[in-house]
Amino acid sequence: MIRRVGKLSRISLAIAAVAACLLASRTLAIATAHTEYEVKAAYLYNFGRFVEWPQNSAASHENEFTICVLGHDPFGPALDATISGEKIDGKNVVARRISKVEEAAGCRVIFITPTKGGQMKGILAALGNSSMLTVSDMPKFVEDGGMVEFVMTEERVRFEINLTAARQVGLNLSSELLKVAARVTQAPIQGE
């Protein structure tokens, strides 16, 4: 077999490549060619996969894994396309767009748009101790007590993590996630 690798393996390589392409059409992945929000949408989804929610949280009783977008939706169709058909912990991933923080009940991940930046502290406070992963691309989000903040480094979408904030609400972030984070802070949440 080994000696005949040349031809056979070339054929199998071609087949595998085709298969990989087919797979790719159904899978979200990061690509530099993607727009910034397409990448961010994928990150939202992926964050959900690296986070453990507490067993008794309100969201855990929901039947769906809900990603909420608070405020003006910057993703366009990218978020829906990303999560369409995906599951996390056996639950269908859905996106919900909300305009008020009060509507955030049952969300696992909540992306807070910059348009509401002025009110960030209020939003975070309103969320209180709800077990929600808060994500935003608002600068200084983590310093403000947010958990994950998208940052652009060398034209790449990176993120910083406020581990303390996450632990405060009982979220357990995987080391893998921490490993790829641009910065992990353990600063205390302001206001305490």
Binding other proteins by CB under 8 A: which of 1, 85, 102, 155? Answer: 1
Amino acid at 21: C
Q: Does 50 bind other proteins (CB under 8 A)?
A: yes
SS3 97: strand
Given 99, 174, 186, 190, the residue binding other proteins (CB under 8 A): 174
Task: Write down how long the chain is.
Answer: 192
The only residue of 80, 180, 183, 188 in contact with other proteins, by rule CB under 8 A: 180
CB of 79 to other proteins, least distance (A): 16
Q: Interface with other proteins includes 88 (CB under 8 A)? A: yes
Tell whether residue 7 is a contact of other proteins (CB under 8 A).
no
Is the separation of the CB atoms in 33 and 73 below 8 Å?
Answer: no
Report the alpha-carbon distance of residue 4 to residue 82 in Å, rounded.
Answer: 41
- Tokens 């509401």 belong to residue: 116
Burial of 27-60, coded b for 16+ CB within 10 Å and e otherwise, reads: ebeeeeebebbbbbbbbbbbbbebbebeeebebe
User: Tokens for 23?
Assistant: 């797979």
Q: Which residues pair with 185 in a beta bridge?
A: 162
- The binder of other proteins chosen from 7, 31, 76, 171 (CB under 8 A): 31
Does the footprint of other proteins cover residue 152 (CB under 8 A)? Answer: no
Sequence-distant (≥ 6) Cβ neighbours of residue 23 within 8 angstroms? none
Looking at 71, 147, 152, 159, which residue binds other proteins (CB under 8 A)? Answer: 159
Chosen residue from 37, 39, 142, 166 binding other proteins by CB under 8 A: 39
- The reply on whether position 102 binds other proteins by CB under 8 A is no
Binding site for other proteins (CB under 8 A): 1-2, 5-6, 9, 12-17, 19-21, 23-24, 27, 29-32, 39, 43, 46, 49-50, 88, 156-159, 174, 176-177, 179-180
